[in-house]
Structure 1
Amino acid sequence: MSVITTRTALIEQGRWLTVQDCKRVLVVVHTVTFAQRLREVFGLLAADLRIQVVFTTAPHVFGNGVKEYLQELGIVAMPWEDALRTDFDLALAAGSRGVHELRTPVVRVSHGAGHIKLLTDTSLLAPGEARSPGMLSPQHLLHEGRVGPAAITYAHERDIAELARSCPEALPVAHVVGDPCVDRITAGMARREQYRGALGVAPGERLVTVASTWGPTSTFGRIDALLPHLLHQLPGAADRVALLVHPNVFAGHGAWQVRGWLAGCRGHGIALVPPEADWQAVLIASDVIIGDHGSLTAYGTLTDAALLLTPGPRREISAYSPAARLAATAPALLPAHPLAEQLDYAVSQFTPGQYDEVATLLSSAPGDFHRRMRSVLYRLLGLGEPASPPVVPPLPLPGPLERWETGASAWADTWADTGAVR
């Protein structure tokens, strides 16, 4: 019997544990992206001696890197098969795959900046049924015609209005709690100069961040068209460039391959930020963000950065999402014009507050995620909340961009200094 299986048995039997009679909460981690969002949630339970938090890694096509991510946090996950056979008081999950098999009530946690991408597998739709984003669709929320989760958390009241149209059966378990990334970025703006200094951006230098989601229509999916412009037109004497690439790109292709494709950037002052690193601090420190239809670009509306959008798949994006609203207002990057000129134009036309209308679509409870989320969890656990506000540490200072050079050099050690979520 393995160490992990033995530990599972001890949890089930309650023997030989120093802290006993705990409520048991299972955290189900499918991908690194989901783990980063869930960290904001399970962190709310960490200091409560009445609660034992246990982790498992569920099968997923983008599951590469999850075990390493958890190990960096000091977490050893139990096997998925053992988790399915074990009783818990509550489970937390950001993904849907396999969670209906658990023997416990499940809290589904939204991730990303709004619900952007429409359901891709249209074979699951009934004739004439409209496509909805995953966390708003019956295909992700119902199992055998019944609502699976005990609670589903959303960032905005508009999500509830959309849910009433797409999956009204889930309304009784839906909760608006806000968005932790909105809260952290908003609070972190006061430390912008500190983040720029920690990244090694000198006074007078311009930090250009290229933000990419995953998939063939993402910025990285078309990096062959953008990369020559970055290499030969940027960086100038006053430019620093950082690439923020979605963890699913690393998980799908492998970190070695992604670094290999970008090895030509080495020596050109272009840094590839590792998927575990503090991406929120990079966004806050940016002067310009070149982004696509992904969450990172939408979160960029909370910062003082000018935005420049790469072409996106309009038919694959929810029309009510922040990404769709941003695509209708932000300047578009055109390959026929020099990149440096387009960046200068975007900066000259940008005014503070230009994207406030988009930013307000990210959360209808700004500054209140951790309090609201904690209330949902403790109510489901049948416990009184701690008699103090949730402790939310500020974003840590990131490491210098020089440590994130592309190429063959290792970047795994950067996580030792960082701890934000994606």
Structure 2
Amino acid sequence: MFGEAWIRGPVSLGGERWLTRSGCKQVLVLVPTLVAGVRLLDVLPLLETDHRIQLFMTASGDSQVWPGARDFADAQGFVRLPWQQATQTRFDLVLAATREDLEHVKGPVLALPHGASLLKSRLRPADPGRGYHPEHGLSRQYLTYNGRLLQAGLALTHDDELDALAEACPEALPTAVVAGDLCFDRLRASLPFREEYRRAFGAQDGRTLVVVSSTWTEQSGFGEHAELFHRVAAGLPRDEFLVVGVLHPNTWTQHGRSQVRAWLGDALDAGLVLLPPERGWHAALIAADCVIGDHGSVTVYGAALDRPVLLAACPEFQLRPDGLAASVARRAGRLRLDGPIRDQVEQAIRTHPAGQAGSLAAQVTSRPDQAGGILRQMMYRLLGLDEPVRGVPVSPVPLPDPLPQDGSIPR
């Protein structure tokens, strides 16, 4: 047998005799990538305390796996099943935030977005010389396999996605529910505790907290400007500013944690507070006075939370004109790395039209503050269980856990 050895436990042959709690509904959390795994952490509190349910995780793939997926799944403390064992087991529910490997799992799949909106902000390259085409996660190529729908439930964030789905894959409409954006709901629920997050970062002394965020790809902030984090950290005096760095999980997993830390060594020496890919960026947005970003979801969420935004990179020719990133780009200023960083940050904060982010927030979700209840209802319907009587938990985001600034890499 190839791959990892199968584990003895609840889903193994005769494994029931080892259990303390038997008869539980079995839910598989699919973690093909670190991005998908981090996103699904928002959903798990809706299920994990129910005594009738047991959660399992698996990092998909045997011959090829995405870096970081297995380590992330192991770190969550649930039973992680080897991929082959997971695909040979029928589950009562499968949670997925990506289309990858869904054709191999057994059980009703609830598909969720892994970023802000299923209508992706970027356009995909067409044939050479023919420009760019719209791309989204609602096309037939994403939602079906050999003519079969992959998901029993499809959670959408916005009413506009229903229109796109009706055009691209109408056979999936009966599975779709506009649930809203649970990540954004949790961010909003955290706003009353802003001072707690600022204290956790060490900015309770009145320093201006600036978040520098980069998505992945060569067109991202860090992809275009290797010195982005260093220029910002070095350009803002430490006694008045605190600079927090956020990098997309793909950057960490594709280049390696030690390599990323090495590349950012000068920025760390200049005072950059670097967050790990698994945790902290939500808290940083709550604490932020200004966000320097690009076309990624973190920047979008920051703008939707009414934070002043400066864009360090913005490949406008690759952005869907009616997408979230394009909306942010029309509002945000542009950061000039060859200019005085402090002046630009202070001007962005001073001229920011506070209280006018409502229209952008309305693009992020059509069901503000309702996603937890709708998603829980969807999951329990697929599980065939009555919902718990207790209220739906929409917890504030966790406090940050920055990486050490001495160059060491947590293992």
Query: 1:42 aligned to 44, 50, 59, which one?
Result: 44
Q: Deviations over 1:18-74 (max 9, x none)?
A: 222222211111112211211222321112222222211113988322232233321
- Where does residue 416 of structure 1 map in the other structure? none
For residue 358 of structure 2, what is the amino acid of its counterpart?
D
Partner in structure 2 of residue 397 of structure 1: 399
- CA deviations 1:217-267 (Å, max 9, x no partner) are 011112325245325422353111111111110001000100010111233
Q: Map of 1:194-233 to 2, 5 A cutoff? A: 194-227=196-229, 229-233=231-235
Residue in 1 that maps onto 2:247: 245
1:307: which partner in 2?
309
Instruction: Give 1:313 shift.
Output: 2.1
Aligned partner of residue 389 in structure 2, secondary structure: coil
CA distance in 2, matches of 1:167, 1:176: 16
Matching of residues 9-408 of structure 1 within 5 Å: 9-10=11-12, 14-59=16-61, 63-114=66-117, 115-118=119-122, 120=124, 131-133=134-136, 135-227=137-229, 229-235=231-237, 237-399=239-401, 404-405=404-405, 408=407
- CA distances 1:383-403 after superposition (whole Å, capped 9, x unpaired): 11111212333333334x6x5
Equivalent AA in structure 2 for residue 211 of structure 1: S
Q: Which residues of structure 2 form unaligned runs of 5+?
A: none
**Pair 129,41 (structure 1): closer, same or farther in 2 beyond 3 Å:** same
Greater alpha carbon shift after TM alignment, 367-376 vs 67-76: 67-76
Query: Does the CA-based 8 Å contact 2:9-2:18 persist in structure 1?
Result: no
Task: Provide structure 1 residue ranges, at least 5 long, that are not aligned to the other structure.
Answer: 413-422
CA 1:362–1:150 in structure 2 vs 1: closer, same or farther (change >3 Å)? same
Distance 1:228 1:7, change over 3 A: closer
| Deviation readout 1:363-383 (Å, 9 max, x if unpaired) | 111111111100001111111
* Distance in 1 separating the partners of 2:12 and 2:70: 22
- Report how far residue 77 of structure 1 moved: 1.0
> Counterpart of 1:203 in 2: which secondary structure?
coil
Take 2:131 and 2:196, find their aligned partners in 1: how far apart are those partners?
53
* Cα shift readout 1:72-129 (whole Å, capped 9, x = no counterpart): 3212311111111111122111111211122222111112112334464768xxx999
Write the distance in 1 (CA, Å) between the matches of 2:246 and 2:385.
40
Q: 1:404 to 1:360 in 2, by over 3 A?
A: farther
Checking the alignment, whether the CA contact within 8 Å between 2:195 and 2:204 is kept in structure 1 is: no
SS in 2 for 1:211: strand
Seen in structure 2, the aligned counterparts of structure 1 residues 136 and 315 have a Cα distance that, compared at 3 Å, is farther
Deviation at 1:404, TM superposition (A): 4.1
Structure 1 runs (4+) greater than 6 angstroms displaced: none
Tell me, in whole angstroms, the C-alpha distance in 1 between the residues paired with 2:292 and 2:65. 25
1:240 partner SS: strand
State the TM-score, normalizing by the size of structure 1: 0.88
For 2:189 and 2:384, locate their aligned partners in 1 and report how far apart those are by CA, in whole Å: 31
Question: Could you tell me how far apart the structure 2 residues matched to 1:376 and 1:253 are?
Answer: 37
8 A contact 1:235–1:241 mirrored in 2 = no
TM (norm. structure 2) is 0.91
What is the CA distance between 1:344 and its match in structure 2? 1.9
Partner SS for 1:92 = strand
Work out the CA distance in 1 between the residues paired with 2:11 and 2:191.
46
Task: Using the TM superposition, give the Cα deviation of residue 5 of structure 1 relative to its aligned residue in structure 2, in angstroms.
Answer: 2.7
* Greater mean deviation of Cα atoms: 3-12 or 262-271: 3-12
Q: Which amino acid aligns with 2:223?
A: G
Compared with structure 1, are the counterparts of its residues 12 and 306 closer, same or farther at alpha carbon in structure 2 (3 Å cutoff)?
farther
Specify the code of the residue in structure 1 equivalent to 2:409. Answer: A
Q: 1:253 to 1:379 in 2, by over 3 A?
A: same
SS at match of 1:357: helix
Spell out, residue by residue over 1:135-179, the C-alpha distance to the aligned partner (whole angstroms, 9 max, x if none): 222221111233221111111111112222222222111111111
Counterparts of 2:6 and 2:151 in 1: how far apart (Å)?
Answer: 27
Give the AA of the match of 1:365: R
Give the fraction of aligned pairs with identical amino acids, expressed as a percent. 37
SS at match of 2:245: strand
Between the aligned partners of 2:284 and 2:400, the Cα distance in structure 1 is 8
